[in-house]
């Protein structure tokens, strides 16, 4: 997959099959658009090109009535997902205050059509673009008649009567609904980090943990609690139970921490880069008033986690990054 990090890097090709958007999460609705692009590319002997933006436009065009957005995926994570889904090319346009002033008409004619080139453009059912979000499907149809290109609007992807959107996935992750979030994403939600040394308390309790340092600005971290997770260590999958939160039993951390007790792993992971995939929510994080109470709960958690693993069927069509 070729990645362009600015319009000046793009090679003009009138046979591009393109789509445009932030694609945060690259969820099943986004994947539907990508699959349709690939179908059209095969039929028309073209190349798929996805146009996205960094940073997310909401960081530049701030709305006073909205909280700062938390992202499902960083730009690097999106690129990994785009590559996995088989796109030929990705163009990342740096989103600046000046670029935010680009009208929908200028964006279509002078940037997409004249600079990048395309024969087909696909957009989602709720896609808007250009200054003040004035660009839409109807505007694309108007220009398609003037410039002789094809435009296609992809219907919403609906699962269990839920219309998939990045917002609904963010809400699910913030409300302990990790299984629902995964279903809408089409893969297991994940956090990348590095194993660092901790205070060693887990080891002394018989529950050694990998302390995962993650410092990803704007990345959405699921709600506090204990989760069933897994990571790929070497070439093997290891399940674990993760505590995500502020560890209130012994002290209250100022920053949210992620520590994982891998159930069937022994070894030194310090300095290892790990991806933690979230499978299921086990319970809320809570403060224990004695070490004995904590140990009783941890043993219950471990038994519960092992029972879940025993009945677990990992989704065969889910991506593992």
Q: From the CB of residue 6, how many other CB atoms can be counted at a distance below 10 Å?
A: 10
Res 204: pLDDT: 58
Res 252: pLDDT: 59
The whole-angstrom distance between residue 321's C-alpha and the CA centroid of its chain comes to 11
Residues 6+ positions from 161 with CB-CB distance below 8 Å: none
Cis peptide bond upstream of 241, omega within 30: no
CA atoms 192, 194, 197, 203: torsion sign: positive
- CATH classification for the domain delimited by 188-310, as one of 2.40.30.30, 2.60.260.20, 3.40.605.10, 1.10.10.60: 2.40.30.30
- Opening angle at CA 87, ends 233 and 51, nearest 5: 115
Res 121: pLDDT: 98
Res 203: pLDDT: 62
Res 248: pLDDT: 63
2-162 architecture in CATH?
3-Layer(aba) Sandwich (3.40)
Residues of the chain with CATH 2.40.30.30: 188-310
Q: From the CB of residue 259, how many other CB atoms can be counted at a distance below 10 Å?
A: 21
What 3-state class would DSSP assign to 280?
strand
Instruction: For 133-160, write each residue's pLDDT tens digit.
Output: 999 999 999 999 999 999 999 999 999 9
- Opening angle at CA 183, ends 178 and 187, nearest 5: 90
Res 254: pLDDT: 65
Q: Which residues of 184-195 are buried (b: 16+ CB within 10 A; e: fewer)?
A: bbbbbbbbbbbb
Cβ atoms of 81 and 47 within 8 Å: the answer is no
Cβ atoms of 17 and 44 within 8 Å: the answer is yes
- Write out the chain's pLDDT in tens, 321 residues: 999 999 999 999 999 999 999 999 999 999 999 999 999 999 999 999 999 999 999 999 987 777 788 999 999 999 999 999 999 999 999 999 999 999 999 999 999 999 999 999 999 998 999 999 999 999 999 999 999 999 999 999 999 999 999 999 999 999 999 999 999 999 999 999 999 987 666 665 778 889 999 877 889 999 999 999 999 999 899 999 999 987 766 665 667 889 999 998 888 899 999 999 999 999 998 888 778 888 888 899 999 999 988 887 766 567 666
HSE-up (13 A, CA, CB side) for residue 2: 11
The whole-angstrom distance between residue 13's C-alpha and the CA centroid of its chain comes to 29
What 3-state class would DSSP assign to 110?
helix
Residues of the chain with CATH 3.40.50.620: 2-162
Q: Which residue matches tokens 């929510």?
A: 281
Pair of tokens at residue 105: 């008409």
């Amino acid at each position: 997959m070729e990645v362009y990090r600015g319009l000046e890097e793009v090679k003009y090709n009138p046979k591009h099959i393109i789509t445009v958007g932030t694609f945060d999460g690259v969820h099943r609705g986004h994947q539907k658009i990508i699959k349709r692009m690939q179908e059209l590319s095969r039929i028309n002997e073209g190349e798929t090109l996805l146009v996205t933006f960094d940073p997310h436009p909401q960081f530049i065009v701030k709305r006073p009535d909205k909280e700062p957005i938390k992202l499902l995926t960083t730009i690097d994570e999106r690129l990994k997902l785009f590559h996995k889904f088989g796109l030929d090319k990705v163009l990342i346009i740096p989103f600046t205050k000046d670029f935010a002033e680009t009208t929908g008409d200028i964006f279509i004619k002078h940037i997409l059509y004249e600079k990048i080139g395309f024969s087909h453009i696909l957009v989602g059912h709720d896609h808007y673009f250009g200054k003040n979000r004035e660009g839409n499907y109807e505007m694309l149809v108007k220009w398609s008649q003037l410039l002789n290109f094809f435009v296609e609007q992809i219907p919403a992807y609906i699962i269990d009567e839920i219309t998939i959107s990045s917002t609904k996935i963010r809400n699910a992750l913030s409300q302990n609904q990790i299984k629902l979030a995964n279903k809408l994403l089409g893969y297991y939600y994940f956090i990348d980090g590095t194993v660092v040394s901790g205070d060693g308390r887990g080891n002394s309790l018989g529950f050694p943990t990998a302390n995962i340092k993650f410092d990803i600005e704007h990345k959405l971290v699921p709600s506090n609690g204990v989760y069933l997770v897994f990571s790929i260590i070497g070439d093997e999958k290891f399940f674990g139970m993760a505590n995500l939160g502020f560890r209130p039993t012994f002290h209250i951390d100022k920053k949210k921490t992620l520590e994982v007790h891998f159930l069937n792993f022994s070894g030194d992971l310090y300095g290892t880069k790990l991806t933690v995939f979230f499978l299921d929510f086990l319970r809320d994080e809570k403060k224990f008033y004695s070490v004995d109470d904590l140990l009783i709960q941890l043993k219950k958690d471990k038994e519960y986690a092992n029972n879940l693993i025993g009945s677990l069927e990992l989704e065969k069509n889910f991506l593992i990054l």
